[in-house]
């Protein structure tokens, strides 16, 4: 993963979606406060077992969320933290995305009727992400 990411500095931003949010948070948890990026934007993020995993017998997915992450270092090191969720997400319940924003002490943007932010949901752009980056 580190080879894909490259050098992280105070101008680096990560934008992640769904399972990618947990992946990025696990990566950041390995860094010191001084090595953290400038910001993160997490879309439909979560940090615990999804109900859909249980419904479909996907217990192996729990390897992405266990052991639990300690968010303190990320909160202290990443200056700009934003979490975006959809009020009708059928994959990641809005409550789990809200909970992640609270764990990160990050503003939560609850957007109506965008599903899981997929092309199948009619979502090909998310202007809010660009607004937060600028």
Clarify whether 101 is annotated catalytic.
no
Clarify whether 116 is annotated catalytic.
yes
Which residue is catalytic, options 18, 44, 86, 101? 18
**Distance (Å, rounded) from C-alpha 90 to C-alpha 121?**
10
Clarify whether 59 is annotated catalytic.
no
Specify the residue for token string 């580190």.
Answer: 2
Which residue is catalytic, options 17, 86, 89, 101? 89
Nearest-CA neighbor of 19 among 37, 42, 52, 41?
42
**Is 42 within 8 Å of 16 (Cβ atoms)?**
yes
**Paired tokens of 122:** 């009619």
- Residues known to be catalytic: 18, 89, 116
């Amino acid at each position: 993963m580190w080879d894909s990411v490259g050098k992280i500095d105070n101008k680096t931003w990560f934008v992640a979606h769904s399972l990618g949010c947990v992946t990025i948070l696990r990566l950041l948890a390995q860094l010191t406060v001084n090595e953290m990026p400038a910001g993160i934007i997490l879309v439909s993020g979560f940090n615990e077992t999804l109900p859909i995993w249980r419904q479909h017998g996907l217990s192996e997915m729990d390897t992405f969320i266990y052991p639990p992450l300690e968010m303190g270092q990320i909160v202290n090191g990443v200056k700009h933290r934003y979490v975006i969720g959809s009020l009708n997400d059928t994959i990641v319940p809005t409550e789990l995305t809200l909970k992640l924003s609270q764990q990160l002490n990050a503003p939560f943007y609850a957007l109506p009727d965008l599903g899981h932010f997929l092309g199948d949901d009619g979502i090909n752009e998310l202007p809010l992400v660009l607004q937060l980056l600028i």
